Chains A and B, each alone.
Chain A
Amino acid sequence: MACANLGRTLKFIMDMSFFLQLTINGILLGGFYALMAAGFSLSWRVTRIINLAHGEFVLMGAYLAWFLLNPKESIGLDIGIRIPIMSIIMVGLALSLGLLLNRFFLGRWVNHPWQRRSASYIAGIVVTIILYLIWSASDFTPIDPFLAIPLIALFFFGLGYIVQDTLLNRLVDRPFLTMLLVTFAIKIMLENFSLLIYGADPRTLNLAYGGSFWRMGESNITISQTRFFALVIAGTMILSLAILLRGTRAGQAIRATAQHRIAARLVGINIKQTYATTFGIVLALTGIAGAMLSTFQPFTPDSGSSWTLRAFAIVALGGLAHVEGIVAAALLLGLAESYVGGYISTGWAIVVPFAVLVITLIVRPPRIQASMMIEQA
């Protein structure tokens, strides 16, 4: 059997189309990994949170995409569950809109904080209700996950802001282990919450174009359409993140806070608000990653840990300093998994993230440790 495998491997190495296909698969996978890990890295870098619930937030994005595509779907979801989910989504949306208006848009026109806050949240509620009415008037038309991206991003931004503002900000000065334990508890809660609502059956999105592919000429090489679209979205989001961090005041505040919290506070940056905004952005990216995941892969409530692990491996490899590092590391991991899976076996591909993590932590400990030490300074 070993000889047969070796012979086959040699044949494949010689086979260019096989190599190209694996490369394409690896890049498509890596692009998704980059989007998924971007949020993980940002929260680690800025708020010093190693979010062990990251994978579960990815899955929340996937489940939200599934819900928006199947609002009337009866599999596993009866009306008694649909209504609370719908309420959570609406409240989340209204709060997110209110937060955004209050923090970033109405500041120029309404000076009084209390009036600005009231106006923002009322506007948020009104817009949400209008959106709901439009959706219900169209008999809850399924919303394509790619079209739902703004909605998902908005919902997750609000969720992230609220989670950081109400819960994680209280733990900022606590020992590092406390933060790990809290995020671990959130992970368990989210996992079981999803299990209760959706059950353990794998969910897949039945998109009209789901599973469709482009064939390159007459060759055997194919490019999955959904994975390609997901790659485009990932690229756009990461670029937007880079622009946001480097070219906007909010981004500068985030970077300043990441560099030195006390110095940032001294120049007048509201640290807790910056943390909340950061975690809002983190979850928005993560939610979008989840929605993208749902378009090409089945998902179950207990599959979150593997995504957290991958995000961890990518951050360990790419470092925390630059988004470019994350993208490069994600592509490398995607390609490595693809080549190992193709030339050796899928079983060994699973080992790749673990191996990357262990090797990186041994070979490059200063960077990882330094990032953890910043806060202690």
Chain B
Amino acid sequence: MRKVSALFLIFSLWIIPALGVSAQGGCAVDENSPGITFGVVVSLTGKFSPEGVDTFNGYAIWHDWVNNEQGGINVGGECYRADIVYYDDQSDPDMVSTLVERLIIEDGANFILGPYSTTLTQVASVVTERENIIMMESNGADESLFTRGFQNLFGIITPASGYTETGIAALFDLGARTAVIAYEDTAFPTTLAQSARDHLDNLGMQILAIERFPKNVADLTSMFTSFRELNPDVFIGFGHYNDAILFIRTAKELGFSPDAMFIPVGASNPAFVSEMGDDADFIWSASQWTADMPYDDPYFGTASDYAERYVEAFGIQPSYEAAEATASALALQLGIEAAGTIDTDTVRDALQQLSAQTFYGAVQFNSSGVSLSEPMITLQIQNGDFVVVAPDADARPVWPAPTWEER
């Protein structure tokens, strides 16, 4: 009996780590394994490309991990290799429609992983709905995406209404009472502006002006001149990465120095700090995720483990868009594994039942496919670093921000 126990112990010591290393899901795949095709249409060029490239990198991290470390996707006991077929949509909605169709019909994509931006996700999801293919979108945050009665669209990110909630509350607590809002005249920034207005109204803050500007605007001098005349406590700007840079440049040039500049989208990208240098300091932004968050999972480890992995692969810190993309692909994988099949209806049911903890946070969907996650966290850039200032502040926010002349 003792001999048997010893043999069992030796066997266990050898086999358990071996299993753990080769395949956490008891899987291993190679080139000859059957594959599941994930179609990706993403903006590698054009207006959305800064965030589009991050999104693509996020999918690439998952793809590398699932095939080389996880050993593939375990579907009903059979191991499937994950194959990604991708196209560059050039940030053009017309291209998205054509390319998603091509992915499904010509490339035989079983699932679609979403592009960056609400606008492009909107277009892509129309095609996936028509073709009855599940689309896990990672970077379209407008609630309107999920109010169209679509059954095949899922998204793990915080919807637009949660972008500014914690930030505006924190600013109100600091004493802000007046605000101006600028937003790009496209779907997502418009929704963000509406929700920000609701949050400001709820707190009784006065909105001195709401101005929209067209996509691809080159000059905002006139708008900021108007804002400067109004002398608000807070400027809140909604656009994308390019607009975030334009906001700061224009404000500085005109000496427009509100107590806080809150730019939820674009300013939380690590590239923003390197591009703007000291001018990025004191800017408020929002983030779906940071590497400091206390989440972990059995797949990628902790949030900071994920960040390390990303830095190793791409040499830069992951933006939250990249983390969202990885977590979205992971959520879809978990849904497929839970379903035990790649049949659309079964996977859809499995995703609706899914409740998982990941490095990105909890993943759970309501019946419309929307994430049941918490509101976004609010960051402030201090000495070139992002610090969490709401809801659970890591550091005191600098309020009011020094004027441009004082810096």
Contact = CB atoms under 8 A, between A and B. Distances in A.
A210 B45 CA distance: 28
A75 B274 contact: yes
Interface string B30-52: 00000000000000011101100
A211 B252 contact: yes
Interface stretch (A177-185, A264-272, A343-351): A343-351
A201 B212 contact: no
A342 B222 contact: yes
B45 A195 contact: yes
Given A200-B50, A201-B49, A224-B254, A346 B275 contact: no
Contacts of B211: 345-346
A347 B222 CA distance: 11
A222 B50 contact: no
Interface string B212-246: 11101111111101101100000000000110011
Given A200-B47, A342-B222, A220 B228 contact: yes
Contacts of A12: 226, 229
A29 B250 CA distance: 13
B253 A296 contact: yes
A349 B222 contact: yes
A349 B217 CA distance: 10
Contacts of A203: 275
B404 A347 contact: no
A334 B225 CA distance: 15
A375 interface: no
Contact of B275 (A18, A75, A297): A75
Nearest to A305: B216
Interface residues of A, number: 45
A306 B216 contact: yes
A345 B223 CA distance: 7
A324 interface: no
A29 B275 CA distance: 24
A213 B255 CA distance: 7
Contact of B50 (A201, A211, A215): A201
B224 to A, nearest CB: 9
B47 A211 contact: no
A21 B256 CA distance: 13
A25 B255 CA distance: 13
Nearest to B210: A1
A294 B88 CA distance: 28
Contacts, number: 123
A365 interface: no
B222 A298 contact: no
A281 B43 CA distance: 37
A204 interface: yes
Contact of B219 (A15, A22, A297): A297
A350 to B, nearest CB: 5
A103 interface: no
A15 B229 contact: yes
B271 interface: yes
A227 B49 CA distance: 29
B83 interface: no
Given A15-B229, A220-B228, A227-B253, A204 B275 contact: yes
A202 B216 contact: no
B74 to A, nearest CB: 38
Given A200-B47, A297-B219, A21 B225 contact: yes
B218 A347 contact: no
Interface SS majority for chain B: helix
B84 interface: no
A303 B216 CA distance: 8
Contact of A342 (B212, B218, B226): B226
A338 B221 contact: yes
Interface string B250-275: 00111100000000000000010011
Contacts of B177: none
A278 to B, nearest CB: 28
Given A297-B218, A338-B222, A202 B209 contact: no
Interface in A250-308: 296-298, 300, 302-303, 306
Contact of A211 (B217, B219, B220, B404): B404
Interface string A154-176: 00000000000000000000000
Contact of B249 (A297, A302, A306): A297
A199 interface: yes
Contacts of B222: 22, 25, 337-342, 346, 349
A204 B47 contact: no
A206 interface: yes
Interface string B183-223: 00100000000000000000000000111111011111111
A8 interface: yes
Contact of A346 (B46, B214, B241): B214
Nearest to B253: A224
Contacts of B276: 204, 206
Nearest to B212: A347
A304 to B, nearest CB: 11
A211 B249 contact: yes
B225 A201 contact: no
A364 B252 CA distance: 40
Choose among B214, B221, B254 the residue with the greatest number of A CB atoms under 10 Å from its CB.
Answer: B221
Nearest to B49: A200
A39 B359 CA distance: 55
Interface in B158-202: 185
A29 B221 contact: yes
Contacts of A206: 276-277, 279
Contact of A302 (B46, B226, B228): B46
A242 to B, nearest CB: 27
Nearest to B221: A25
A15 B230 CA distance: 12
Given A8-B226, A12-B229, A338-B221, 12 more contacts: A18-B229, A25-B225, A75-B274, A199-B49, A220-B228, A224-B254, A298-B246, A298-B249, A302-B216, A303-B218, A339-B222, A341-B221
21 contacts: A1-B210, A29-B219, A200-B50, A202-B245, A202-B246, A204-B275, A206-B276, A222-B253, A297-B246, A297-B249, A298-B245, A298-B249, A302-B46, A338-B222, A340-B222, A341-B219, A342-B222, A342-B226, A346-B220, A347-B185, A347-B212
**What 4 pairs between A and B have smallest CB-CB spacing?**
A341-B222, A211-B252, A200-B49, A342-B222
